[in-house]
Amino acid sequence: MKRLQALAASAPEGIDALNANQQALLARGRRSDRLAGAMRSSVQRSPSEASEPPDRRQLILHAAARLFSQQGYDRTSIRDISREAGLLPGSVYHHFPSKDALFLAVHREGFRRVRERASAAAALGSDPWDSLRRACEVHVSGMVGDSPIDRITGRSIGLTDHQNLLAMTLEDREAFENLYRELIAALPLAPNADRSLLRLVLLGALNWVFIWYREGRRTPEAIAAGIVDIVRRGVQA
């Protein structure tokens, strides 16, 4: 792509000096660069990783997550995903044999990310309630942040009518929810408190934040703290 950019920059006609195939290659490369830049800004990376371009598999996952979230599973094609990633369709199929496989890989990556970060945050808690708050804070931050892979764990898991696909995400969802089972099991609750129902209500509240969230009104930290406080203390005067 650098050669094409240099060729266009040195010609008086600019990009018009390139033929149709060269212009298409240049456009794909620019889309890929933009997506890579978005990934670098939305994902926490070590200083040594920050200068390295994301690999193609991660580019594809990022592009697929964005389109699955925006358009839904049925209205997103492999061609759409390859165009979003700035790649040819064959490059997508090289890493993922089908759209189903890509859908599952996106969700597996999303659940893994939020589970690992929430677990690490919870470990820093000073008591069970503080651990829960810290995990919820990470969860909300991912839901409203810039990474579509993080958002998809709560946002679009139910936005498909393909029950077979949802069933295939069950193992990863269970591994993710086990973190909240453990956190809620450690809480000092009333003897008759339904911990299973509490977990479901809490996850529902966290996953629905993206619907009403508006940047600048409440921070993810304030939202998480508020939700946990309502769960802990209630709202009755």
> Which residue among 36, 63, 95 closes a domain?
95
Of residues 105 and 21, more confidently modeled: 105
Over residues 162-207, the pLDDT tens digits come to 778 778 888 888 888 999 999 999 999 999 999 999 999 999 899 8
**117 and 207 belong to one structural domain:** yes
Distances (CA, A) of 130 to 73, 191, 200, 229: 37, 21, 19, 10
Of residues 38 and 57, more confidently modeled: 57
Q: Confidence class of residue 135 from pLDDT cuts 50, 70 and 90?
A: very high
Decide: 156 and 71 in contact? Cβ < 8 Å.
Answer: no
Q: Confidence class of residue 51 from pLDDT cuts 50, 70 and 90?
A: very low
- For the cut 70, the answer to whether the pLDDT of residue 150 exceeds it is yes
**115 and 186 belong to one structural domain:** yes
**36 and 73 belong to one structural domain:** yes
Q: Which residue, 209, 234, 227, is CA-closest to 132?
A: 227
**56 and 116 belong to one structural domain:** no
Per the structure, the count of domains in the chain is: 2
**110 and 190 belong to one structural domain:** yes
- State which residues form the domain around 206: 104-233
**108 and 202 belong to one structural domain:** yes
- For the cut 80, the answer to whether the pLDDT of residue 31 exceeds it is no
User: At 116, which CATH number?
Assistant: 1.10.357.10
- For the cut 70, the answer to whether the pLDDT of residue 18 exceeds it is no
**131 and 190 belong to one structural domain:** yes
Longest dimension (CA), the chain: 79
**21 and 70 belong to one structural domain:** yes
**202 and 160 belong to one structural domain:** yes
> Which residue among 95, 114, 133 closes a domain?
95
Over residues 90-115, the pLDDT tens digits come to 989 999 999 999 999 998 998 898 89
- For the cut 70, the answer to whether the pLDDT of residue 77 exceeds it is yes
Alpha-carbon distance 112 to 64, whole Å?
17
**131 and 198 belong to one structural domain:** yes
